[in-house]
Chain A
Amino acid sequence: MIELVKRRSARPLALTLALASVIALSGCAQLGVKPWVKPYERQRLADPIMSANRHDIANRHVAHVYEARESGRGAEGAGGGGCGCN
């Protein structure tokens, strides 16, 4: 019969998902923490140069180049997926 090899623990995945779910559902506010950066303090973060997706169309091409030549995939954010190139 076919054997199954070493069973690597998938616990980090489960813990990460669980943590993400808890934060998403409860919100930090309910953990007793208040927002510490006020809206008027976010001028720098609103500068277009701080946008990681400033050039969306170029980022799509970069992701496609890597996806076609490397085995690593996923966790790039909201975009990507379903390219289906072989």
Chain B
Amino acid sequence: MAVIKSITETTREKKVKVLPMSGVSCQEQEQFQAVYKTSTRSKVVAVLVLVAAVILLIISKLTYGAVLDPDRADVLYHSYQGGGMKIDGPAVLIRKKANDNVAVSAYYYVDTISSASVDVLSTASPYSEERKEFQLGAEYLHDKTVIAVNVGQSDESDYLAKSVALNIAHDTFGDLTTVSLGVVYGDNEIKRNGDDNFLETSQQYRIRAGINQILTPSLTAGINIEAVADEGYLNNPYRTVRFIDNSNAAGVGFQGEVYPDTRNSFAVKLSSSYYLPYRAALFANYRYFTDSWDIESQDFELAYRQPFWGDKFELEMKARVYQQTAANFYSDLFPFRDAQNFLARDKELSDFDDLTLGLGLTYKIPSAWSPFNWQSEASFQWDHLRFNYNNFRNPNDPGGVGAEPLYRFSANVVRAFVSVYF
């Protein structure tokens, strides 16, 4: 408990007040940040040790058996279009059991990005780039416990992210309850295209836990919690903030964003699934999120899945609403240059809400049409998203500096994929 108390205190203490620059010297800021960086690292390590201890205790309580998921291969094409951005590419996921107790998986994902988001467009040129992500995983089943290790790398011209994750899930209480615990460590290298001297790093630590409970023969419920701690360079190196500047004709000036070098967040998610009497499934999820940048968010999702036409097809429908408050150092338009210690104009840190409406259709391909009579499916999913920003404006719109209409946009997301069970 002492360890838990110390990490939560760290979370509280990271809530740095945004003050005018005049009252704080650079030296004081650096000392402050150095002290808290060291403090965060030691406390995160302490929490990881606690998690490892809990995991060992759970493993020591092992009893009898469970099974690994079946062998499966998925090939997917994804596309996102909206807000001036087009992102698409392929993805492949393969998982294969080596024996009854060991399974391995590989995941490959490509984002081809063209053009840029509106909050970068004001000062940067549209661009095109590619992000490739690769993950390798292994699962080990021992009686009722599944231990999963995952390593991953995401690579683009100006960003290299590496991560390693450990997750443990254990069935208990007559298999009515599944308890899971996990930790993730991520290490990021940030560069700036066109500036060979620019190199920054950041680290991310995640700790998560969950309980899933069978409540009735038709109803399950779960709770997941996760704490995330970031430290290092958390800015986007290209993005700028704008401020009122009467010294030039446009009346507006730009300067680079400045973020705190730590961020701690906590999220809790409640989820439930219900089997309807006529063979359909209903899912409901609620998540609450809060972080040390004063952002609070909530999202609620309802999804429905219905087989039809002799079970050859499955229809999926979903609706999701999301709402968040702004970071305490965010502003669409600052009153003057260096108005605060920390400055952000990333619209993802603004006050906004969004709505997702989704439709999906899965067709079970007759086994006679599949090689080796494997069972296979073809699926198509379409999501329509609408974003409404409450304190972010598009500087390219008319109306004058700071008086442009509030920004809003919609996006369409498409996923087409084939799944083969072999």
Contacts and interface: CB of A to CB of B under 8 A. Distances in A.
Interface of A: 1-14, 16-18, 20-21, 23-25, 27-29, 33-37, 39, 41-45, 47, 49-50, 52, 54-58, 60-62, 64-66, 68-78, 81-86
Interface in B235-270: 236, 265-269
Contacts of B324: 70-72
13 contacts: A10-B12, A28-B173, A39-B175, A55-B362, A56-B74, A58-B360, A65-B385, A71-B289, A71-B324, A72-B295, A76-B226, A78-B167, A81-B163
Given A49-B305, A71-B324, A75-B287, A37 B217 contact: yes
The 4 closest A-B CB pairs, nearest first, are A84-B161, A82-B163, A35-B174, A10-B8
A74 B164 CA distance: 16
From A25, A41, A45, A68, residue with most partner B Cβ within 10 Å = A45
B140 interface: no
B217 A57 contact: no
Nearest to B74: A57
B165 interface: yes
Contact of A58 (B214, B279, B379, B387): B379
Nearest to A9: B12
B84 to A, nearest CB: 13
B267 A74 contact: yes
A40 to B, nearest CB: 10
Contact of B283 (A10, A52, A60): A52
B4 A18 contact: yes
Contacts of A77: 180, 210, 224, 269
B407 interface: no
A13 B19 CA distance: 28
Most A CB within 10 A of own CB, among B12, B271, B283, B387: B12
Interface stretch (B37-45, B182-190, B332-340, B392-400): B182-190
Contacts of B273: 50, 52
Contacts of B305: 49, 54
B154 interface: yes
A10 to B, nearest CB: 3
Q: Looking at chain B, what size class is its interface with the partner chain?
A: 35 or more
B208 interface: yes
B152 interface: yes
B102 to A, nearest CB: 17
A54 B72 CA distance: 11
Given A45-B218, A55-B419, 12 more contacts: A2-B29, A20-B225, A29-B173, A39-B174, A49-B280, A61-B413, A61-B415, A72-B267, A72-B297, A74-B228, A82-B186, A82-B206
B107 interface: yes
A45 B217 contact: yes
B24 interface: yes
A79 to B, nearest CB: 9
B211 interface: yes
A62 B417 contact: no
Nearest to B282: A50
Contacts of B295: 71-72
